[in-house]
Copies of this chain bind each other. A is one copy, B any other.
């Protein structure tokens, strides 16, 4: 039986592409129309692993997904970086000049807005998924409507690409995490990256003290993000990603952060995929 992978979106979406890149083609998909549904699917054991976009070099962190991982005790078991390419696609026979409406995910619309400045007559409509519009165009034989979606969607749904790579910034890396409900799966020797969450008091220098300890433990910081703790003024939660070479160094850090910070939690220990 194929490995069942929950993805956000439908076949032909960027999450589908990540599933293929990470797990190969021998997989079964659980298509989820929201990240909430994806988490429910994992908790109900209807899929073994899930794929979630977590940050983007243009739009930054997808904070609600950090909250979903944290509150549902998911464990990050891996990561994958995908350089996103947006293509404008239409029903076969339609031209760029026929388009009056483009429907796609808000993030895709945002990343292509420079391109559409030259086409003020095209109405941009936010939709839940990039591939879903491509599917709908084919199913309903929609004219005058275009989708912004990955190439795999054009192939799957038989659409013509009328403009390719329409994103403003050509180097548009999105980071996806692979999550599951169980604990860490890799042997310690293969682990060289971790995602942490902790809380510090609003005391001058408290974050600096934590970062000094990380540096002393030979950790490299690859990401930091503060977030006010809701309903507790002057307390901050930090989401931090670190890379390291020796798991023993990381073990030492964990013992120290347990003492130095509040609500310290390891969200995941995995293999660094950043190149």
Residues in chain A within 8 A of chain B (CB atoms): 36, 57-61, 63-64, 67, 106, 110, 113, 126-128, 169, 171, 173, 202, 204-205, 207-208, 211-212, 214-215, 218-228, 230-231, 233, 238, 275
In the bound complex, how far is the Cα of B59 from the Cα of A221, in angstroms? 23
Give every chain B residue within 8 A of A225 (Cβ-Cβ). Answer: 60-61, 224-226
Chain B residues closer than 8 Å to A211, beta-carbon distance: 205, 207-208, 211
A231 near B171 (CB under 8 angstroms)? yes
Closest to A59 in B: B63
- A202 and chain B: residue at smallest CB distance: B220
A208-B222 Cα distance, complex, nearest whole Å: 13
Give the oligomeric copy count: 2
Cα separation A218 to B121 with both chains bound (whole Å): 53
Which 7 interchain pairs have the tightest Cβ spacing?
A60-B63, A205-B215, A208-B211, A126-B126, A224-B226, A208-B215, A171-B231
Q: How far is the CA of A61 from the CA of B239 in the complex (A)?
A: 13
B204 touches A215 (CB 8 A): yes
Bound-state CA distance A113–B212 (Å) is 40
Known: A63-B60, A227-B60. A212 touches B208 (CB 8 A): yes
Residues of the B chain whose Cβ atoms lie less than 8 Å from the Cβ of A231 = 169, 171
A110 touches B60 (CB 8 A): no
Beta-carbon contact of A58 and B207 below 8 Å: no
Query: Are the C-beta atoms of B227 and A204 separated by less than 8 Å?
Result: no
A65 to chain B, nearest CB (A): 10
Q: Which B residues are in CB contact (< 8 Å) with A36?
A: 113
CB neighbours (8 Å) of A127 from chain B are 126
Within the complex, which residue of B169, B219, B223 is in contact with A204, where a contact is CB–CB below 8 Å? B219
- Among A64, A113, A208, A225, the most chain B Cβ lie within 10 Å of the Cβ of A208
Asked if residues B204 and A218 are in contact (CB atoms below 8 Å), the reply is yes
9 residue pairs from A and B, CB less than 8 Å apart: A57-B227, A169-B230, A202-B222, A204-B218, A205-B212, A208-B215, A212-B212, A224-B225, A225-B225
Closest-CB distance, A3 to chain B (whole angstroms):
29
Q: Whole-angstrom distance from the CB of A199 to the nearest CB of chain B?
A: 14
Chain B residue numbers with a CB within 8 Å of A60 are: 60-61, 63, 225, 227
